[in-house]
Structure 1
Amino acid sequence: MRRIHVMAAVIRDAERRILIAKRPDDAHQGGLWEFPGGKLEPGESRLEALQRELHEELGITVQQARPLIDLQHNYPDKHIRLDVWEVSEFTGTAHGAEGQPVRWVTEHQLPSYAFPAANQPIVAAARLPQRYLITPDCAATEVLQGIEHAIDAGISLIQLRQTQLDIQDYEALCEQVLQRYGARATFMLKGDQPPADRRAGWHLTSRQLRAMCEQPPPTRPLPAERWLSASCHDAEELQMAERLGVDFAVLSPLLPTASHPEASPLGWEQAHAMLNNCRLPVYLLGGLTGDDLAAAHNAGAQGIAAIRGLWNQP
């Protein structure tokens, strides 16, 4: 079986817009939009290949880049590795050096463009931040203060957990949080049913995920325009999350944690092996802080999820 290693890039400008390019009409999946890149050549490092391809295709020189998501696809006659990096700094003016149309778009505009099906996890990864905050169990006033502090610190994806509350009190707090902060951050809510407020996404427990996948074929319980995520603890649950069509997953526990001392940690090596066979953006959870972001990226993760590691951090 042929093995093909393809580099691709989510390129951001100073305004955080993302560059996309249109495939030639006569090419495979012609007329669709894609993220620029090309094949890794023998003897090249991944970064060298990315720099060469983007210079040839767009006339830019990459200054700063990091791994974003690594996707594996098996076909009857070949194995494709789609190795996607985020480019945050470059020199030169990006243009279609090979005659291809290019366009700068915002994260919110990305879903309105037609991409190949294999690119959909990249679209999600490009729209998701590096940090996913999970709120701790505490009084409502402390939750509101902590969320305010987190948003001011640049955190834009927050799971409202609050396991100490009954259903009515939790729903009341969710409504208060969304009214106050819904325009400033994306909130993932918990519960037995999808959140009624369309501004919020739904985070599934691993038990909910398994229950939904027991009834074939698994059907995504939210429309595509709303975020759906799931907690996973092993490779089987990651595969279930893929089949259900979630937008991103959380894999835990990576390291020993005070909140779940009885859980057996995965460790970096095992987590990397699981992510290597996953076609979703995945956050690593368990004993991590912002200092672990680079290690998480190198392991193939979208970033980190945390309670203590991100709550009330400077």
Structure 2
Amino acid sequence: MDRPLVCVGALVWGRDGRVLLVRTTKWRGLWGVPGGKVEWGETLLSAVQREFEEEVGLTLRDVQYAQTQESVLSEEFHRPAHMLLVDFFASTDGTEIQPNEEIEEWAWVHLHEALDYPLNAVTRTLVTLALRQGEQ
């Protein structure tokens, strides 16, 4: 029986105040943030740190919970999936991206410029939350 997948991702700020966006093979050409599935026995924090190391070679710090979203059979995703997405905000000291095979393109952008990218819906929600929190 299929069950929802628990996934993690993070909107990450570099030292210069810009955030990292990536275009991956899994979101049909749309941009998002690095992340992936939580493995059995792994905490959410460990999962998001591992995924960033694997996908872009960055070490995260100051990881903070942002929100939880649900994506049920999104046409934006490359295959039918039901995902619970646990999103974080984090920082990194590195800026040199070491992409794995999933990452097709990446950009460091100012947060207010991120919405100009063709983002997948779950990343658009995460960026909008970050912008709202920045206004408070």
Check 1:17–1:91 CA distance in 2 against 1; reply closer, same or farther (3 A cut).
closer
Number of residue pairs aligned between Structure 1 and Structure 2: 128
Give the match for residue 7 of structure 2: 6
Deviation at 1:91, TM superposition (A): 4.1
Alignment RMSD (CA, Å): 2.1
Higher strand share: 2
Deviation at 1:119, TM superposition (A): 2.7
Asked if 1:57 corresponds to 2:55, the answer is yes
Deviation at 1:61, TM superposition (A): 1.4
Does the CA contact (< 8 Å) of 1:59 and 1:93 recur in 2? no
Check 1:127–1:96 CA distance in 2 against 1; reply closer, same or farther (3 A cut).
farther
Unaligned runs of 5+ in 2: 74-79
Aligned residue among 71, 74, 78 for 1:73? 71
Check 1:20–1:70 CA distance in 2 against 1; reply closer, same or farther (3 A cut).
same
Supply the AA of the counterpart residue of 1:65.
V
| TM-score, length basis structure 1 | 0.38
Kindly, what percent of the aligned residue pairs are identical? 28
Does the CA contact (< 8 Å) of 1:2 and 1:78 recur in 2? no
Deviations 1:6-60 (A, max 9, x none): 1001000122211000123xx4x32110111111000000000011000011111
Check 1:118–1:106 CA distance in 2 against 1; reply closer, same or farther (3 A cut).
same
Check 1:78–1:104 CA distance in 2 against 1; reply closer, same or farther (3 A cut).
closer
| TM-score, length basis structure 2 | 0.82
SS at match of 1:22: strand
**How far apart in 2 are the matches of 1:107 and 1:18?**
6
Bigger CA radius of gyration? 1
Deviations 1:110-138 (A, max 9, x none): 111001223321120122226xxxxxxxx
Give the match for residue 20 of structure 1: 21
Supply the AA of the counterpart residue of 1:21.
V
Asked if 1:105 corresponds to 2:106, the answer is no
Supply the AA of the counterpart residue of 1:23.
T
